[in-house]
Amino acid sequence: MFETLPRSAHDVMGWSWAHYEPYYRDLQTRPLDAASVAGWLADWTRINELLDEVGTRLEVATTLDTTDKAAEAAFIRYLDDIRPAFSSAEQTLKEKLLASGLEPEGFAIPLRNLRGEAALFREANIPLQVQVNKLSLEYDRIAGAQSVEWDGDDKTLTQAYALLESLDPDARETLWRKIADRHLQDRESLNSLWQQLLGLRQQIATNAGFDSFRDYQWKQFGRFDYTPADCETFQSSIEAVVVPAATRVYERRARQTGVGAARPWDMQRDNVYPPAFPRLKPFDTTEQLENTAQAIFDRVDPKLGEYYGILRRENLLDLGNRKGKGPGGYCTRFLVEKRPFIFMNAVGSAEDVITLLHESGHAFHGFETNDLPYSQQKAYPIEFAEVASMSMELLSAPYWSASEGGYYSAADTAHARRQHLEHILLFWPFMAVVDAFQHWVYTHVDEALDPNQCDAKWGQLWDRFIPGMDWSGLDAMKVTGWQRKLHIFQIPFYYVDYGLAQLGAVQVWRNAQHDQAQAVANYRRGLALGGTATLPDLFATAGARFAFDADILRESVDLIERTLDELS
């Protein structure tokens, strides 16, 4: 046992790598056999969680106040001085565990993942990966520099997109066209970035002994429970079942706004999701946002309400928007203290409510896995992590109205719930475009190196999966959509995960219609497995089927459309 290792991250915040190194050396040299493995894993977990929590705390501090130079310097020092040594020390312990041939209880899945990771490692890929990371930053730089002038102000495109929904239809179209022109100015530089990235990825795959980068990335993501063919099945199922329902959403939306067909400037993010008309106003203050969620979680499940109470009591929620705070929202966890932390930038919108419910689902996942003994067992797959969070959006929906303790009047509740359910229907087809495009790219690399062919493919897929919107006269903007999806440039193949998780979440919600207590109990049992089970087992424990077929999608879409009817 590590008698001298401090128990709290607060006691080691100023440590350099030299302080940690002896503990890793001890683990590297200590004899490892059936008798000693439990103690060895326990000590590994302690040092791993301590270092992880230090890094998390330093990173969180930089998002709480982006102007805090000391916080930034401390995090950079961690990244430079500690993170690389931490990674390679972890790597040697992983190799030691694999070489021992031991299979401790509850380690079948973590070991499967470690073996997959170890098999991919190639020295020759390290410099290529550095180049990929640099090009990835270049993508951020290009996107970050894009701005348009509006009302005499220079607006980033993020700000400009956010403005769209507050404008009247004519102004909306004008601003959208400005945004489109600005995007298209970078068409050539993004094309050239793309060609470089694609070439590097193909080389990385070849070096690791794969014909295609798709097969490489599959291993890299630890996707042992589903295949590229399953994803193609999922795409076809979405086309058959979800696309008609999504088209009905667009048609309804066009009728409401009194135009002939939904146009891209009527949409928000990714030109896919219609905004709420009229805008909803669920809360005025951050306190209201926070307190009301307590009433909702108490209704969903007493234990989950208790978890949320801990977050509030222990100041583990930073919800409001303020100057200097970093963008976006996230849930992270302090592994030693066994506590999640939720960060977001609430301004009073319906999306803020969804964000808090969603991130709280991630937080509950953290609480539920606290009793697993070893850190490798607590790392759950992303496909299931999002079941935890997306289910919480849906499970909480019956309590969104003020009469149930929630945020909205009766009319606004219906409006908010419709909007939420419609977004689920519109997400799947969009996800299918992003996913199908990438399957085509990495199985047709020679063609995909030609950006014109990428444009053509994207346009074709858009017509196949999103026929409900009118893009006439906007061809250049339509076919370059792939350039605006950062996942395609930066995290290839990472997107279907959300679609699969959404399907799991709808099934958890379906179960709750029949027996909420049982559905939530199963959900919590699934969460509590952490990373110790396969995806099919995690889903099954939570009461869902890990699936790609049209039948399960049809059941889910029917339930959503039935609920939409009830709410109208």
Which residues of this chain interact with Zn ion, rule CB under 5 A? 389
**Helix 169-185 × helix 187-207 angle, to 10°:** 60
CA–CA gap between residue 82 and residue 15 (Å, rounded): 9
CB 357, min distance to Zn ion, A? 11
Residue type, 238: I
- DSSP state letter for 402: G
CA 543 from chain center: how many Å? 22
CB 228, min distance to Zn ion, A? 24
CB 389, min distance to Zn ion, A? 4
CB 396, min distance to Zn ion, A? 15
**Taking CB positions, which residue lies at the least distance from Zn ion?**
389
389 or 480: CB nearest Zn ion = 389
CB 72, min distance to Zn ion, A? 26
Instruction: Assign 3-class secondary structure to 138-178.
Output: HHHHHHHCCEEEECCEEEEHHHHHHHHCCCCHHHHHHHHHH
CB 386, min distance to Zn ion, A? 5
First to last CA, the chain: 62
389 or 502: CB nearest Zn ion = 389
CB 295, min distance to Zn ion, A? 23
CB 417, min distance to Zn ion, A? 20
389 or 483: CB nearest Zn ion = 389
Cβ atoms < 10 Å from Cβ of 424:
23
389 or 419: CB nearest Zn ion = 389
CA–CA gap between residue 530 and residue 55 (Å, rounded): 21
CB 493, min distance to Zn ion, A? 18
CA 91 from chain center: how many Å? 25
CB 162, min distance to Zn ion, A? 20
329 or 492: CB nearest Zn ion = 329
CA–CA gap between residue 313 and residue 305 (Å, rounded): 12
β-bridge mates for residue 408, sequence order: 401
183 or 378: CB nearest Zn ion = 378
193 or 421: CB nearest Zn ion = 421
CB 331, min distance to Zn ion, A? 7
Tell me if residue 199 falls in helix, strand or coil.
Answer: helix
Cβ atoms < 10 Å from Cβ of 15:
17
413 or 507: CB nearest Zn ion = 507
Instruction: Assign 3-class secondary structure to 73-119.
Output: HHHHHHHHHHHHHHHHHHHHHHHHHHHHCCCCCCCHHHHHHHHHHHH
386 or 455: CB nearest Zn ion = 386
389 or 541: CB nearest Zn ion = 389
498-501 contact pairs (CB < 8 A, 24+):
498/386, 498/427, 498/431, 499/234, 499/238, 499/427, 499/428, 499/431, 499/432, 499/435, 500/226, 500/234, 500/383, 500/546, 500/548, 501/382, 501/383, 501/384, 501/385, 501/386, 501/387, 501/390
CA 218 from chain center: how many Å? 17
180 or 363: CB nearest Zn ion = 363
